[in-house]
Structures are given as structure tokens and as C-alpha cells.
Amino acid sequence: MVPAGATIVRRRDLRALLVIPGALWLLAFAVAPLAILFAMSFWTSSIFGTTTDLTLDNYRVIADDPIYFQVLLQTLRIAVTVTLLSLLVGYPMAYFLATLKGPKRGVFLVLLFLPFWSSYVVRTFVWLPMLGRTGLVNAVLLQLGVISQPLDWLLYNEGATHVGLVYVYTLFMTLPIYLSLDRMDRSLIDAAADLGAGPFRTFFRVTFPLSMPGVLSGSVMVFLLACGAYVTPQLLGGTSGMMFGNVIAPQYTVTNNWALGAALSVVLVIVVFLCLVIVGRRVRLNDIFIGG
């Protein structure tokens, strides 16, 4: 007979072997790029290229120029607002999906995913002919007589950035909430009704608290994605709707200042990480990433 202790050791060895591929993947595609980015933020860039000469000048440039701080604050504000708007749009959709049964649920899930079968850039470009001076929104308003001339402020501002980001990221809010609602014990709602609770009281005392793991998970995902947004504010935001990603990208594509771009990226990563730490002090990580 094989000793019980030997069996336990073999199981532990097997679990360790199963963890190795995932650990190597994380090291190669998550830890290593961040380490290289952090190291590059201390390098020196010039018209002749980037060298490994260590310097703190990149961080001094960021600290001395208030525009970086202003754009960073604007990015965080937009990310928070987009998260809240996505929650307001996504929760009713998730609740509606959770109430469906049979083939209807499958049909509406396909419809929910349908726009995401196309490219992210294409989905963002769609808003240009819709919000433009000769776009669909202006045409409808003119036809209804609401306005006498086309509106110029629908595009290239912070509002257009919000619209584009909410449209793109609502799915990432809707799905976690839908999964939480779908796993919810329906007998609890019936019990609340039997105890005399009305629909609104049942929702705020039973349904919404039980769906909080999905709300938290979706909010974290949308916030992280919005903080790193580049394409949507680039195409729709103009100068007033610019976000931190639009400051980082030109350092690599226009000015060839890779070291400064790396320093800006590190600042964004640290700030977002601190935001998650602050949230983690109030909310258990299991509630966010595992679902309670």
C-alpha cells in the first residue's frame, strides 16, 4: 500500500506542476513587460535614440509640468463617471436578461454581443457620422424642428468621450452583473414578497445586495479599461476630451521619447494600483474577482 503521506505529497507536486504554465505565462507577459517599462522610465532619450544611462529627468519633467497632473485627474474623473454611467445602463440590461428563460435569453445574449463582433476602432468610428454636424442626431433634431441649425458641440469634447467609452465598455459591466443575478436564489425574492416587501423594497434590500459581487467586478473592469483608453478619446474627444493615454502615445509615435513615455506609463500604473488598494481596503478582493 502507498502511505497516505506519500499520496498527499504527490498531489501537492501535481498541483505545483499545474501552476507552473500559468506562472510562466504571467511572468512572460505581465511581470516582465512591467519590469522593462519600469527600467526604461529611468533611461535617457535623445534625438539619437534611447540609451540605458540612468536618470531621474523623466520624472522631473512630469513633476514640473502641471499639464500631466491635470490630464491624469481628468482621466480618473472620466473613468469614474464612465463606470457609474455604465452601471446605470448595464444593470437594467443585466436584470432583463436574468428574467428571461429558454431561447429568448440566448437570442438577447447574442444581440448583446453582436456589436462586439466588429473591431473596437470601427465601433468608435460609428459615432462620427452619428454625432457629426451632418450626422444622424443633427438630422433627426432638424427634421423634428427641435433645432434650427446643426449642433457643433456633439463631437470633439469630453461628453463625446463619455458616450463612446460607455458604449464600448457597457458589456464588461453587464455580464458580471447578469451572472450574479442569474445565480441568485429566487426563493429569497418570493420570501421578501411574502413578508410584505414591495418591488422597490425587495430590489434595494434583496436583489441589489446579492448582485454586489457582479457590480464590483464590472465596476473594476470598466474603471481599469477606461483609465487606459486611447482610441475613443483620440477619435471623439478632441483637446478637451483628452485622456492620459493620449499623452503617453505621442512619446512613442511622434517625439520618439520612449523613456518619458515609460515614466508616464509607470505613473498611470501606480495611480490606478493605488486606487485599487483603496477600494480593496473597503471591499474584499474575493468579492471583486471571484464573486463572493
What share of the chain in percent tops pLDDT 90? 58
Q: Is 12 helix (H, G, I), strand (E, B) or coil?
A: helix
Q: Is the pLDDT of residue 57 over 70?
A: yes
Residue range 267-287: average pLDDT? 81
| Per-residue model confidence (pLDDT) at position 284 | 63
Q: What is the pLDDT of residues 248-271, one digit of tens each?
A: 999 999 989 999 999 999 999 999
Residue 197 burial (10 A CB sphere; 0-12, 13-18, 19+): middle
pLDDT of residue 289: 54
How large is the angle between the packed helices 212-227 and 258-282, nearest 10 degrees? 160
User: Residue 212: how many CB atoms within 10 A of its CB?
Assistant: 17
* Domains of the chain by residue range: 66-289
Rounded to an integer, the average pLDDT of 24-33 is 91
Find out whether 220 and 112 touch, Cβ atoms under 8 Å: no
Mean pLDDT estimate for the chain: 88
- Per-residue pLDDT band for 292 (boundaries 50, 70, 90) equals very low
DSSP strand E in 12-96: where?
44-46, 49-51
- Identify the pLDDT of residue 2: 47
- Torsion sign, CA atoms 88, 91, 97, 100: negative
Q: Distance (Å, rounded) from C-alpha 128 to C-alpha 111?
A: 23
The CATH-assigned architecture of domain 66-289 is Orthogonal Bundle (1.10)
Average pLDDT over residues 145-172: 93
**Does 227 score more than 90 pLDDT?**
yes
Assign 3-class secondary structure to 161-212.
HHHHHHHHHHHHHHHHHHHHHHCCCHHHHHHHHHCCCCHHHHHHHHHHHHCH
Distances (CA, A) of 187 to 124, 162, 206: 42, 38, 11
Arithmetic mean of pLDDT, 103-128:
88
| Cα distance between residue 53 and residue 62, in whole Å | 19
Quote the pTM value. 0.88
φ, ψ for residue 101 (rounded to 5)? -130, 155
More reliable by pLDDT, 3 or 222: 222
Tell me, what's the pLDDT at 94?
A: 95
Residue 287 has pLDDT above 70, yes or no: no
Q: Rounded to 10 degrees, what is the CA torsion of 19, 22, 24, 28?
A: -160
| pLDDT of the residue at 65 | 94
Q: Give bridge partners of residue 18 from the DSSP assignment.
A: none
Identity of residue 144: L
